Amino acid sequence: MIVVNDIHKSFGDSEILKGISTTFEKGKTNLIIGQSGSGKTVFLKCLLGLFEPEQGIISYDGRDYSSLTGDEKRDLRQEMGMVFQGSALFDSMTVEGNVMFPLEMFTKQSKSEMQERVDIVLKRVNLIDAHNKFPAEISGGMQKRVAIARAIVMNPKYLFCDEPNSGLDPKTAILIDNLIQEITEEYDITTVINTHDMNSVMEIGQKILFLKNGLKEWEGTNKEIFKTDNAAVTDFVYSSELFKKVRQMYIEERN
Ligand SMILES: Nc1ncnc2c1ncn2[C@@H]1O[C@H](COP(=O)(O)OP(=O)(O)OP(=O)(O)O)[C@@H](O)[C@H]1O
Ligand SMILES: [Mg+2]
């Protein structure tokens, strides 16, 4: 579980995160939504330890990041997996090379141990024939699977994903979302996902944090988000015609 207490993060004179508090539970897919520029990526980078907030506490299963020693911070970072927007695979490495990379960087495992682990995670993301292919030779959906395999190869306690299904068609996007949710439950990971995608909200929004202008505007579940009267949330959620109709149906049902 990650507990966030009153996080502030500024760049120069502009305060981007203005005091966010929330909790992200283990074994759950926690989503962060909000308009472009609301601070989702900055917040995720704070959770990853890439940005250090000026104020506030982020605590990982009881470990307050700011009070850890350098070694403890490094150990904690190795418990984190990440999937960046656009997969961020190394083009010059094969699928296998990409997934093995964190093991080569951070462990002293033998080649055969690493190979065994790579085979397990590639199988877990349903990629069995792609070991020797290069990223350019596989589809966008497969690239995301490779990125997920790489993110979980070190057996992380925490998984952070920034727009993991951007650029995918809606069906493939849902497959990727479901894969992330299954893995989260199976390995009891605390997963935090930034997304724009209302399909993701509906499918895997076990906990949703809605950011607006660097503040927590609302939080709840996917069941609750379609019922809330919070105007900022409904504006965001029902910005598409389809969702406006869904909301209308809810309102009619209620009355
Ligand atoms: N390294 C940085 N230096 C200065 N300002 C930054 C930096 N990173 C982000 N910002 C600013 O912080 C604000 C929030 O950006 P952020 O990337 O977190 O938005 P976002 O919610 O992830 O948007 P999107 O949905 O488009 O990805 C923006 O105004 C951005 O310009
Ligand atoms: Mg972003």
Q: Is residue 166 part of a domain?
A: yes
pLDDT digits (tens, 9 = 90+) for 13-34: 999 999 999 999 999 999 999 9
Domain that holds residue 94: 89-155
Is 251 inside a domain boundary? no
CATH of the domain at 26: 3.40.50.300
pLDDT at 28: 95
Whether 254 is covered by a domain: the verdict is no
Beta strands in the chain (DSSP E): 2-11, 14-24, 29-33, 55-60, 63-64, 80-83, 158-162, 190-194, 207-212, 215-220
pTM of the model: 0.93
Ligand 1 mutation target, pool 7, 10, 16, most atoms within 8 A of CB: 16
Q: Which atom of ligand 1 is nearest to the CA of 211?
A: 21
Give yes or no: residues 131 and 225 share one domain: no
17 alpha carbon, closest ligand? 1
Q: Are residues 11 and 102 in the same domain?
A: no
Please check whether residues 102 and 147 belong to one and the same domain: yes
- The pLDDT-based confidence of 86 (bands split at 50, 70, 90) is confident
The DSSP-derived string for 86-106 is T----TTS-HHHHHHHHHHHH
φ, ψ for residue 223, nearest 5 deg: -75, -35
Q: What is the pLDDT of residues 113-156, one digit of tens each?
A: 999 999 999 999 999 889 999 999 999 999 999 999 999 999 99
